[in-house]
Structure 1
């Protein structure tokens, strides 16, 4: 009979083998969620972009379909209008956001790779939402510093971060100034393939092991920040929502 520690390690190993963006114990259960509630209501442009991205060699970087659905509804619930996204890739979560915003909504989107963004851009344009997006190629930190310098404090309703995990805390130090009181910041991958509970000698992919410490550092820092309320959700690869309260 497996001990708790052995079972934890076995689960972490299974998540590595699965290769999809779910933290659920069962592939069949995850597929049930997708086929029952996600795919039947997935907007056609998001489906098209998801299928295009699936053929990309780095497709593991994309936002999962269930997380895209969650973000789309969340943005509607909070009546978001002015948003930011750090880490775009081919734009699946960006498209989910753009479809949720009103016609005069705006998204400041940043990524170091324009080529990946341009792979999804024709779909975004066809969906009629490209006018909502201000894409900036390059590192996000200088842009954030400039926004603060320009006095853009408290002007964003929602900010989504799915980028370099080693800079998550650097982003947070700036984003907490840029999001409005009552606004939300969403940090993606905060359960990091389930590796946050894997033992030190667990068989992890090199990039998973490298970034795990940064994710753990973020997960320790966010609950200690008195300026926010937090909620960690096992959606996709783990999403931590931070609501600014002061």
Structure 2
């Protein structure tokens, strides 16, 4: 599901330091911890280390990524100089608060978000900036028939349903009845229940049933935010259901930055890493990996 982490930029800045200078172990560990959560406040040089603060270049991670930062901002530069030393902003908490302050979040979505915040697994909910992007993509492509795989309490599906035309349809697949009850409550409150076809159960089964029912090539948009090790199967099924020119958006493709760390090889990380590689090589779609939330890949079926 969606994540409370901000994805690649928070965790890829500093990953694992394999060589630690004597006397600086605790300091570097503190720096790593701060960088991983976006709390980087740099003010003065550290004598004897390879890191320099106050707007100067630092080398602190295993892949020698360049980082420049100050108390209010930070950016990184690609290792490969063929990218022209492109500076990419690293989202820290202050900047992310600013981004959120510029999200147009409908009141009903705010209410749902705040209720979900007190629930177990609240980190699975997509962030407001992600939901805003999903809604805009639906509007841009003029979608009328949509699918969501992994509803949780319904924040992203409600954002999509709100911008669908009155005759629109969103098929919402979720296996957890408790969370679906929350989503249904808000569909009713927002007066969009008539647009949402809830399918309680395993999403793969629901998608296969839709294909067998003759619905292949009839959907404009799909969003995947469910079991990570099932991503490839969901993707293949959705490719059948989405029409040419339609969009498939996949969440959590940066997986808290773990996908870029060769030292992390748990089952979910490896699964997402392999999925990203497969998407990159799949000529059936055009793609764009976007570092928003925990990372989203936007695919357009060719």
- 2:84 alignment counterpart: none
Provide the TM-score with structure 2 as the length reference: 0.71
Q: Compare the two structures and name the one with the higher helix fraction.
A: 1
Name stretches of at least 5 consecutive residues in structure 1 with no aligned partner. Answer: 202-207
Q: 2:293 aligns with which of 215, 223, 236?
A: 236
TM-score, normalised to structure 1's length? 0.86
Query: SS at the partner of 1:104?
Result: coil
The answer to whether the Cα contact below 8 Å between 1:158 and 1:179 also exists between their aligned partners in 2 is yes
Instruction: Report the counterpart of residue 172 of structure 1 in structure 2.
Output: 235
Please tell me the root mean square deviation across aligned C-alpha atoms, in Å: 2.1
Q: Which portions of structure 1, spanning 4 or more consecutive aligned residues, are displaced by more than 3 angstroms?
A: 8-18
Deviations 1:35-64 (A, max 9, x none): 1x11xx210100000100111121011011
Select the structure of larger CA radius of gyration: 2
Within the candidate set 79, 90, 94, 1:28 is matched to 94
Instruction: Write out aligned runs for 1:139-178 (5 A).
Output: 139-178=202-241
Unaligned 5+ segments in structure 2 are 1-11, 18-30, 39-88
Does the 8 Å CA contact 1:88/1:111 hold for their aligned counterparts?
yes
How many residue pairs get matched?
Answer: 228
For 1:204, the equivalent position in structure 2 comes to none
> Which residue in 2 is equivalent to 1:215?
272
Aligned residue for 2:15, secondary structure, equals: helix
| Matched-pair contact (CA < 8 Å) for 1:45–1:124 | no
Is the aligned partner of 1:106 residue 2:169? Answer: yes
Deviations 1:171-211 (A, max 9, x none): 1121111100000000000011111112416xxxxxx9441
1:181/1:238 CA distance change after superposition, 3 Å = same
Give the superposition deviation at 1:12: 7.8
In structure 1, how many angstroms separate the alpha carbons of the residues matched to 2:248 and 2:164?
A: 16
